[in-house]
Amino acid sequence: MTQFLHDRLFEAFASALAAAVGQPVDAIRAQVKPAEPEHGDLAFPTFPLAKQLRKGPPAIAAELAGKLSVPGLQVAAAGPYVNARFEPRAFMDGVLSEARGAGVGYGSSDTGRGKTVVIDYSSPNIAKPIAFHHLRTTLIGHAIANLYRGQGWQVEGINYLGDWGKQFGLVAVGLQEYGDPARRGEMAHLVDVYVKANARAETDPAFDAEARAFFRKMEEGDPEARALWSELRETSLRGFQPTYERLGIRFEHVDGESLYEDRMDAVIEEIARTVGVKESEGALIVDLPYAEGEPPVLLRKADGSTLYATRDLAAAEDRWERFHFDRSLYVVARDQSLHFAQVFGVLKAMGKPWADRCVHVSFGRIMGMSTRAGRLVLLNQVLDEARARALEKVKESAASGRIHTEEPERLAEQVGLGAVVFGDLKNRRNTDYTFDWDEVLEFDGHTGPYLQYAHARACNLLKRGGGAPARADAGLLTLPEEQQLARMLARFPVQVRAAVEQDEPSFVARHLIDVAVEFSRWYTLGNQDRDKRVVHETDAALRAARLALADAVRIVLATGLQLLGIAAPESM
RNA sequence: GCGCCCUUAGCUCAGUUGGAUAGAGCGUCGGACUACGAAUCCGAAGGCCAGAGGUUCAAAUCCUCUAGGGCGCGCCA
């Protein structure tokens, strides 16, 4: 567990404190906090001890600080706190060798070796519009998959298509009414028809009944209905593919609810046998005692067709049989938390020992989406707009001679998507965040392009300085900015681990900002003071040391961006 | 009506699971480039952490209530 430099120093401090206090390390560990920068790196408040020892916190802190002697740490009391500062030279040396020794991928570990995680993400409903809000499950799921892979997990990413259900009936029936034969193979056309059919069904019960009838025919295996279903599914999949490609997403599996149509009876039978089902108002339900007042789970409608809860139950079992997972994640909007509580509750009631390995990784809504003429904003529109805006910037930079690029279009794509992707992932996944077209496409401030820019500058420094030095004297890096930067670099693996543990990519996103801020500050010192330039003009040893630090920054930024699914161009 | 989640600077969000004077971006105002790349950096103004109680040595953080908002609640997914 204590594999990274920061972990080792933390543990050393905690165990020394534990010994001095005479308490178990576990209890002490929870008390050790990050310190305010001016006080060092780690802090231990003595208030809880004060009560037990009946002494004042400052006295205890002073006494403890006097007792502690830990290699690599400078321990000092400050009021009621015992603070530890990482011994600068050794710490800097440790950070540089750890990060540069690991290279891109720094922060990875093998803690997940032999373990399997199933991740259900993106999972669009076929024949429904792919709007901007699909971005969240897609990007969060992708980042989580990358994070688990980095810790050695076997990742089974599943794009679980909503390719079964009444909406197909709606589109099928809608095609007769609103379809344009010439546009039959177009995804946009399907969306068009779906939107119209959906609106029609709201007010026209006869139309709605037709759609239901069509879906029932699908379930019964009617060849004509199945042929149309198959065609619509193909059209949709073709329509999604370019979006996944530009985001760099590939799924291990593309499944669909349709996969389980012939397992419905078996699942219902098993539930009937283990949990018990009953009929209510013509429908088949399972009434769980798990929570008073919670609504029952519907397994089968009065007309005999099944519901998505039934299919999710079958899917969960299937995933267990296929992967014997240690965790099974469902990256789905929080709107559906009741649904997953029900599905997991049924699995538990069925006696599935793996039921508690299933986790609903929920995320909040994107508010205020109906900007621009009250229409749904399509995902590709946003990505295209981002690329177009980035292209303007790229052209400006090229015109002013700041960059040279052979492929401005490609760079614009990388930067534009970087802005959109980071704009989403920087938010904690559970917050409902407000969509603001201008903010998502913003390239100034702490954004995706800010990280990419910092990375490009680090790359450029290495280019100017003749590459990353093989050896460097860490003792020469004595500027406060350099120390602060080293701190941020050392915390990167800790943040990555936390991100995996809590399925929270924003931890990585926000930490990268901290790294880039410290790097930019350090870098800019050289504008005023040539002696503080990274590529020092006269002192070769200092230049090597600073280039080594820039190299470590480059590694952390590249690694973090890769985890988030954002490109890291070397020049921009 | 019942359940879940929110409310922190003008706006958008952090706040390491209870610890030191509450932080950042945008916006506003003022500075720094014939450049180790200004998509950058520095400074300033801006907060009764929705409100009221409570627990604690210590509360933005935990508990209760109130107000405001979002979402869900058997034949959609």
Residue A168 CB lies within 7 Å of the nucleic strand B: no
pLDDT at A488: 97
Residue A410 CB lies within 7 Å of the nucleic strand B: no
* Whether the predicted pLDDT of A527 surpasses 50: yes
Residue A532 CB lies within 7 Å of the nucleic strand B: yes
* Whether the predicted pLDDT of A25 surpasses 90: yes
Is A162 found in the same domain as A32?
no
Task: Kindly state whether residue A121 falls inside one of the protein's structural domains.
Answer: no
pLDDT (tens digit per residue) in A118-164: 999 999 988 776 676 788 999 999 999 999 999 999 999 999 998 88
Among A70, A86, A102, residue at a domain's last position: A86
Domain range for A244 = 158-250
Q: What average pLDDT does range A333-340 have in this prediction? A: 93
Q: How many domains does chain A have?
A: 3
Task: Kindly state whether residue A237 falls inside one of the protein's structural domains.
Answer: yes
Nucleotide nearest to A498 (CA to C1'): B16
**C-alpha neighbours within 13 Å on the C-beta side of residue A516:** 24
- How sure is the predictor about A371, in pLDDT bands with cuts at 50, 70 and 90? very low
Is A498 found in the same domain as A388?
yes
Higher pLDDT, A262 or A489: A489
pLDDT (tens digit per residue) in A278-309: 999 999 999 876 555 678 899 999 988 888 89
Residue A456 CB lies within 7 Å of the nucleic strand B: yes
pLDDT at A374: 40
pLDDT at A62: 95
CA of A446 to C1' of B11 (A): 16
- How sure is the predictor about A437, in pLDDT bands with cuts at 50, 70 and 90? confident
Is A525 found in the same domain as A433?
yes
CB A199 within 8 A of CB A213: no
Q: What is the dihedral of CA A188, A192, A195, A198, to 10 degrees?
A: -110
Is A413 found in the same domain as A560?
yes
Please name the residue whose C-alpha is nearest to the C1' of nucleotide B13.
Answer: A427
Nucleotide nearest to A335 (CA to C1'): B71
Place of tokens 């399509």: A378
CB A487 within 8 A of CB A514: no
Query: Beta-carbon neighbour count of residue A474 at 10 Å?
Result: 21
Is A558 found in the same domain as A475?
yes
Residue A13 CA, distance from chain mean position: 32
Q: How far is CA A54 from CA A46, A60, A299, in A?
A: 12, 10, 62
Residue A89 CB lies within 7 Å of the nucleic strand B: no
pLDDT at A290: 52
Residue A198 CB lies within 7 Å of the nucleic strand B: no
Contacts of A137 (CB under 8 A, 6+ apart): A121, A122, A123, A331, A332, A333, A363
Nucleotide nearest to A533 (CA to C1'): B36
First to last CA, chain A: 38
Residue A443 CB lies within 7 Å of the nucleic strand B: yes
CA of A71 to C1' of B20 (A): 25
Nucleotide nearest to A39 (CA to C1'): B20
Place of tokens 């950070």: A95
**Percent share of chain A, pLDDT over 90:** 70
Nucleotides on chain B that have an atom closer than 7 A to a protein CB are 2-6, 11-17, 19-21, 24-27, 32-33, 35-42, 57-58, 69-77
Residue A110 CB lies within 7 Å of the nucleic strand B: no
Token pair for A228: 């149309």
Among A190, A223, A250, residue at a domain's last position: A250
- Amino acid, single-letter form, for residue A572: M
CB A427 within 8 A of CB A405: no
Residue A444 CB lies within 7 Å of the nucleic strand B: yes
Residue A52 CB lies within 7 Å of the nucleic strand B: no
Residue A34 CB lies within 7 Å of the nucleic strand B: yes
Q: Which CATH number covers residue A41?
A: 3.30.1360.70
CB A194 within 8 A of CB A245: no
Nearest to A296 by CA among A307, A308, A306, A287: A287
Is A187 found in the same domain as A55?
no
Is A508 found in the same domain as A409?
yes
Task: Kindly state whether residue A316 falls inside one of the protein's structural domains.
Answer: no
pLDDT (tens digit per residue) in A244-258: 999 999 999 999 999
* Whether the predicted pLDDT of A373 surpasses 90: no
Helix/strand/coil for A154: strand
Q: Which CATH number covers residue A532?
A: 1.10.730.10
Residue A260 CB lies within 7 Å of the nucleic strand B: no
Is A162 found in the same domain as A82?
no
Q: What average pLDDT does range A392-397 have in this prediction? A: 91
pLDDT (tens digit per residue) in A453-486: 999 999 999 999 999 999 999 999 999 999 999 9
Task: Kindly state whether residue A276 falls inside one of the protein's structural domains.
Answer: no
Q: What does the buried/exposed string (b/e) look like for A69-101 if buried means 16 or more CB atoms within 10 Å of the residue's CB?
A: ebeebebbbbebbbbbbbbbebbbbbbbebbbe
Q: How far apart are CA A504 and CA A528, in angstroms?
A: 39
Task: Kindly state whether residue A321 falls inside one of the protein's structural domains.
Answer: no
Please name the residue whose C-alpha is nearest to the C1' of nucleotide B38.
Answer: A524
Residue A462 CB lies within 7 Å of the nucleic strand B: no
Nucleotide nearest to A82 (CA to C1'): B20
| Mean pLDDT taken over chain A | 91
pLDDT (tens digit per residue) in A204-245: 888 988 888 898 888 888 999 899 999 989 998 998 899 999
Q: What average pLDDT does range A169-181 have in this prediction? A: 88
CA of A536 to C1' of B14 (A): 36
Task: Kindly state whether residue A27 falls inside one of the protein's structural domains.
Answer: yes
pLDDT at A459: 97
Among A195, A222, A250, residue at a domain's last position: A250
CA of A447 to C1' of B14 (A): 14
CA of A503 to C1' of B4 (A): 20
Task: Kindly state whether residue A129 falls inside one of the protein's structural domains.
Answer: no
Is A182 found in the same domain as A56?
no
CA of A444 to C1' of B61 (A): 32
CA of A100 to C1' of B29 (A): 43
Interface ipTM = 0.96
Task: Kindly state whether residue A277 falls inside one of the protein's structural domains.
Answer: no
